[in-house]
Structure 1
Amino acid sequence: MIPDNIQALAPNMVQWRRHLHTHPELGYEEYDTQKFILSTLRAMGHHPIVAGDTGVVVDIGTDGPIVLARADIDALPIEEESPIDYRSRREGVMHACGHDGHTAMLLGVAQVLPQFLDKIPGRARLIFQPAEERHPGGALKMIRDGVLDGVIRVTGLHLQSELPAGKIGARPGVQSANSDRFDILIEGKGGHGSAPHHTIDPIPVMAQMIMAMQTIISRQINPTDAAVLTISAAQSGSAYNAIPSRAELKGTVRTFNQDVQNRIIEQMRQVMEGTAETFGAHAELQYRKGYPSVVNSQEEWKIFKDVVEKFAGRDVWIDVEQRMGGEDFAYYLQQRPGVFWNLGAHDPRYPYPHHHSQFNFAESVMPLGVWIMVQTILAFIREPLSPSGARQTENS
C-alpha cells in the first residue's frame, strides 16, 4: 500500500528521530532542535521560517487552499532509563511521548510532498511546534504568530504505543479531555514534634483533604459523566522532630464537559475550606484551566477515514476511545475544522506507557504515518469547505 519512494524514507526518518531522541529539549528551550529542523528543511530546498520562538514553519506548494499539518517537538523532564544506544544525552530530559517521531514524520512529509502538490493547486503549511508539554502550550504562540492565516483545515497525529502497530484511528467530536492543574497551599502553625498541642499541624489537614477529595468524583459527579481528579504530589516538612507550618498538594483534573469541570472546582473549594476550618488552618486553591478538549469536526473526520481506508486498507482503521489525556492541538481545532488522529506504534520490546522513563515505539510505522498524512493534506485541499466550515474559518 505504501509507495516505494515513501518506504525508502524509512532510514532517513529513523536517523532523524534517533538524533532528536539523543538530544531532547524541554518546551521553549528547543534551540538545537529548531536548528536541526531548519537545516534539514533547507537541505531539501525549502524556505522555512521561525515562529513561536523556538518553532519552525514551512509552506510547500502553489497558490490555493492552505492546509496546516503539525508536529510537536519538545521533550519531557524525565531521566531516561532505556538500555538503547541512542538514549538521551541530556540529564533529566527525555523524549518520552513520541514527539521525536512526530517531527521525523513531518520532515518526511516535507521531503515527498512537492511531487504530489505539483499536480494540484494548493499549499501545505507544515509547522513544528514547541512546548506541547508545557502549559499554556506552544500552540497559542504559533497561532499568535499567524500560522492559521489563510488556512482552511488542520491536521496532526500522535503516536500511541498502546495501540497495535500500524492501526490508525480518530473519533468524531470530543476525543480528549479538558486538562487542568491545581495547587492547594495549606498554612498551619509549626512547632516542636514533642508538643503538637502548641501547633496547627498541616499534615493531618492535608491527609484529610486527600481522602475527602476522592469522594468528589464518586459522590458529587453523575456517574455517567467521565471525570478524573488525581492528587499527584503531597509535600510538607523535612525534619523528624519538627511539625511544619505549611503543606502543599498538586494534582490534575480531567473532564469532557465544562459544567462538570466547574462543579468539580466548586466542590474542591468547599472540601478544602471546610477541612482547613475544622483544624483551624488556612488553605488556598490555585486552579489553572489548561488545554481544552480536542474536538474533531464531523466532515473532516469522514474525509480522513475515507483516506485511511482507501490508501491503507479498511483493516487498518480502528475506532479510538475518548482519552483523558490533554493536547494543545485543541486550540487549532477551535479555530479551523480538522482532525487529530492516532497512529498505533506498539513495540512488544518496550511495554511502557507514554511518559515512562523507558518509553519507546515501533519506528517501522513512520512511513505509514507519512503516507496517510500526505494523502490527508491532499484530500483536505481538494475537498471544498462545507458552509459551516467556511463560516468557522471566516469568523475565527
Structure 2
Amino acid sequence: MFQSSTLQAAVESVKEEVIQWRRYLHENPELSFEEENTSQFVYDTLCSFGNLEVSRPTKYSVMARLIGPQPGKTLGIRADMDALPIQEENTFDFVSKAPGIMHACGHDGHTAMLLGTAKVLAGFKDQFKGEVRFFFQHAEEYFPGGAKEMVEAGVMKGVDFVIAAHLMSHVDFGKVGITYGPMMAAPDAFWITINGIGGHGGMPHQTTDSIAIGAQVVTNLQHIVSRNTDPLDNLVVSIGKFVGGEAANVIANSVEINGTVRSFDEKVRASVPVLMERIVKGITEAHGATYEFKYVNGYMPVINHDEVTRAIEDTVREVYGDDTVEIQRPSMGAEDFSAFQKEAPSAYFLIGARNEEKGIVYPHHHPRFTVDEDAFEYGVKIFANAVFKFLG
C-alpha cells in the first residue's frame, strides 16, 4: 500500500477545514430532496480545490472526478448530505439555524470528511492509476432515496469498486466497525386501515369495534416472526403507529396502523406481505369488519463484498493498528447505499463517533445527537489510504 509522510501531512493539514465545513453544514441543514444550498456549497468547495471535474448528476447531488495520469480501475466514494425533521436541543455554538430541522445522523460529518478527502487527493493526482469518483448524495433518509437517482443518472458507469462510511454513535471514538456480508436490512413499510362501525362506548354490542379488532391484528402480526418464519432468518415486524378514536366514550369507525418490516433474505421478504394480509383478512372477516392494506418495498439490504471489505479492514489495520478494528454484527437499520452496491463490489463501514468523556452519547435521530469531531480524521485518512490500496 502507498505509504507517504506527505499524504499523512496532507490529511493533518485539512483537519480544521473539515471541522469548519461540518459546522457550517450543521448550522444550515436541509431535508431530503431539498438540499439546494447544501449541494451548491459542496459544488463550490470542490471547484476551489483544482484538478477535479465537478458536475451535478441530479438536481441536488454533486459528483467530482479525479482522474490519474494512467488508465486503471475506478473507485467510488460516497457521502450523504441530507438532514432530518427534528428540532435540535444541543447548546453548542453551531446549532441548527433552521427551525425543526437538524443533522441528527452525522451526514454533515460524512460530507465534510469526503470534501477533506477530495482536497487531499487532488494534490496526489499523479500518484495513482485510474480514477476516484466522489459521490455527494442527497436524500438518504427519504424513500425512494437519492442513491437510486444518482445511479439512474449514470454516475456508476465504469466504477469497479465503491465504498462509504457512517459516523456511528454506538461505536466508541478510535474504533472502526467492519462487517462482512449482510450489514443492514431492507426497510419495507406497510399501512393497514381497519374499517368497523363506530358508536357509543356504553353500547359496544351495536358497533364493530375497530380498535379491539386492530389490537388483535397488532398482536397476531408478531406471529409472523415467532411462528411463520425460520428462527435463523433475520426478520423484524414493528408497529410504529396506531391511530383510532377521538373520545373516551366513542368507539371509533376506523383504525390506522403503520409499521416497518426489516429483512435480509429476498424469499423471506417476499413472504411477509402475503402472511400479513392473510392475518389481517382473517381477523377482520371474523369480526365483520373490512380492511385496506398497502405494502411498499424500501431499499435493498446492504450486503458487503468480502474482498472489498477485506481491503478496507487491511487499510484500517495498516494505518491505525489492529486494535482499531471491531468486527460488527449485522444491523436491522437501513441505508440506500445498497443502490450503489448493486452496480459494483462494495464495502460500507463504521467510524466510531461516541465519546462518553465529552458527553457525546446520544443515539442517532435524537435531538441532542452529535459526533466527536476528532473522528473526522479517521474518515479522511482511511479514505485517502484506501484509494492507494485499490488503485495502487
Q: Is the TM-score greater than 0.5? A: yes
Give the aligned residue type for 2:262: R
Determine if the alignment matches structure 1 residue 29 to structure 2 residue 34. yes
- Residue in 1 that maps onto 2:19: 14
Structure 2 CA distance for aligned equivalents of residues 235 and 81 of structure 1? 28
Which of 76, 93, 96 does residue 101 from structure 2 map onto?
93
Q: Which shifted more, 343-352 or 96-105? A: 343-352
Q: 1:200 touches 1:279 (CA, 8 Å); kept in 2?
A: yes
Structure 2 CA distance for aligned equivalents of residues 126 and 294 of structure 1? 19
| Paired positions, count | 382
Q: 1:69 touches 1:377 (CA, 8 Å); kept in 2?
A: no
- Residue in 1 that maps onto 2:66: 60
- Residue in 1 that maps onto 2:255: 247
For residue 255 of structure 1, report the CA deviation from its aligned partner.
Answer: 1.2
Which of 330, 333, 336 does residue 325 from structure 1 map onto?
333
- Residue in 2 that maps onto 1:371: 381
- Residue in 1 that maps onto 2:232: 224
For residue 114 of structure 1, report the CA deviation from its aligned partner.
Answer: 1.8
For residue 240 of structure 1, report the CA deviation from its aligned partner.
Answer: 4.0
3-state DSSP of counterpart to 1:290:
coil
Q: 2:64 touches 2:135 (CA, 8 Å); kept in 1?
A: yes
Structure 2 CA distance for aligned equivalents of residues 279 and 93 of structure 1? 43
Q: CA RMSD in A?
A: 1.7
For residue 49 of structure 1, report the CA deviation from its aligned partner.
Answer: 1.3
Structure 2: give runs of 5+ residues left out of the alignment. Answer: none
Q: 1:52 touches 1:130 (CA, 8 Å); kept in 2?
A: no
3-state DSSP of counterpart to 1:162:
strand
TM-score (normalised: structure 1): 0.92
3-state DSSP of counterpart to 1:154:
strand
Structure 2 CA distance for aligned equivalents of residues 338 and 378 of structure 1? 16
For residue 265 of structure 1, report the CA deviation from its aligned partner.
Answer: 2.3
For residue 99 of structure 1, report the CA deviation from its aligned partner.
Answer: 0.5
Determine if the alignment matches structure 1 residue 43 to structure 2 residue 48. yes
Determine if the alignment matches structure 1 residue 297 to structure 2 residue 297. no
For residue 141 of structure 1, report the CA deviation from its aligned partner.
Answer: 0.3
Structure 1 CA distance for aligned equivalents of residues 159 and 179 of structure 2? 22
Deviation string 1:192-232 (CA, Å, 9 cap, x unpaired) is 44443333221111111111112321222222222111101
3-state DSSP of counterpart to 1:118:
helix
- Residue in 2 that maps onto 1:69: 77
- Residue in 2 that maps onto 1:381: 391
For residue 21 of structure 1, report the CA deviation from its aligned partner.
Answer: 1.0
Q: 1:117 touches 1:123 (CA, 8 Å); kept in 2?
A: no
- Residue in 2 that maps onto 1:356: 366
Which of 144, 169, 184 does residue 152 from structure 2 map onto?
144
Structure 1 CA distance for aligned equivalents of residues 279 and 345 of structure 2? 40
Q: 2:171 touches 2:177 (CA, 8 Å); kept in 1?
A: no
Determine if the alignment matches structure 1 residue 279 to structure 2 residue 287. yes
Give the aligned residue type for 1:51: P
Q: 2:49 touches 2:122 (CA, 8 Å); kept in 1?
A: no
Structure 2 CA distance for aligned equivalents of residues 85 and 188 of structure 1? 52
Structure 1: give runs of 5+ residues left out of the alignment. Answer: 383-396
- Residue in 2 that maps onto 1:266: 274
Structure 1 CA distance for aligned equivalents of residues 39 and 254 of structure 2? 42
Give the aligned residue type for 1:20: L
Structure 1 CA distance for aligned equivalents of residues 387 and 191 of structure 2? 41
For residue 47 of structure 1, report the CA deviation from its aligned partner.
Answer: 4.0
For residue 359 of structure 1, report the CA deviation from its aligned partner.
Answer: 1.0
For residue 105 of structure 1, report the CA deviation from its aligned partner.
Answer: 0.1
TM-score (normalised: structure 2): 0.93
Determine if the alignment matches structure 1 residue 107 to structure 2 residue 115. yes
- Residue in 1 that maps onto 2:215: 207
For residue 189 of structure 1, report the CA deviation from its aligned partner.
Answer: 2.1
Which of 173, 189, 208 does residue 181 from structure 2 map onto?
173
Structure 1 CA distance for aligned equivalents of residues 278 and 33 of structure 2? 36
Give the aligned residue type for 1:42: C
Q: 1:162 touches 1:353 (CA, 8 Å); kept in 2?
A: yes
Structure 2 CA distance for aligned equivalents of residues 302 and 208 of structure 1? 47
Give the aligned residue type for 2:28: H
For residue 339 of structure 1, report the CA deviation from its aligned partner.
Answer: 1.0
Structure 1 CA distance for aligned equivalents of residues 91 and 122 of structure 2? 38
Deviation string 1:328-361 (CA, Å, 9 cap, x unpaired) is 1111111101211111111210221111121111
3-state DSSP of counterpart to 1:163:
strand
For residue 241 of structure 1, report the CA deviation from its aligned partner.
Answer: 4.1
Deviation string 1:69-108 (CA, Å, 9 cap, x unpaired) is 1000011122222222222222221111111100000000
Q: 1:61 touches 1:114 (CA, 8 Å); kept in 2?
A: no
Measured at CA, do residues 279 and 91 of structure 1 come closer, stay the same or move farther in structure 2, by a change above 3 Å? farther
For residue 124 of structure 1, report the CA deviation from its aligned partner.
Answer: 0.8
Structure 1 CA distance for aligned equivalents of residues 97 and 249 of structure 2? 41
Structure 2 CA distance for aligned equivalents of residues 350 and 278 of structure 1? 51
Q: 2:140 touches 2:147 (CA, 8 Å); kept in 1?
A: yes
